[in-house]
Amino acid sequence: MAKYLKLGEKATIFFDPSSQICISNNEVIELEMIPKNKKITTALSQGHLVRSDKTEYDAYKTGSPVIAASAAVKTSQEQEDINDVLIDLTDEGFIEKVRGAGFTKKHQKMILEQSSREDQIKMYRKLEKSYE
């Protein structure tokens, strides 16, 4: 199944030399799979790159404006993107992400003590809401 990427709101260009992925301006690219390397994973987790969808890709290719329905899906899509990035991180990368997220030591421990990555992410999300 194809995957689609585009730049985040504040980004102007992205280039990853190992995968040769280059995205600029309002470009939306199609990939068979998103390479799992540090630069792309970091760019996705920090909003420099965001996942897109076929509707936006087709609109980009034809030069037509993006359909408004696509924008309505963004919030849940962005949440799924973040979850995908968290699942794809190595154990060390996940620990680093948790420690850098501003949680107290007690909350960091609660997250990292969960038995599976999915449970860790659920706890991360639950605690994240209490910090908002």
pLDDT in tens, 29-51: 999 888 888 898 888 888 889 98
- What are the CA-CA distances from residue 24 to residues 17, 56, 97, 101 (Å)? 15, 15, 27, 28
pTM: 0.50
Least confident range from 47-51, 58-62, 79-83: namely: 79-83
CA atoms of 24 and 13, how far apart (whole Å)? 4
CA atoms of 103 and 127, how far apart (whole Å)? 8
CA atoms of 71 and 62, how far apart (whole Å)? 18
**Residue 130 in tokens:** 């209490």
Local confidence band at 68 (pLDDT 50, 70, 90 cut-offs): very low
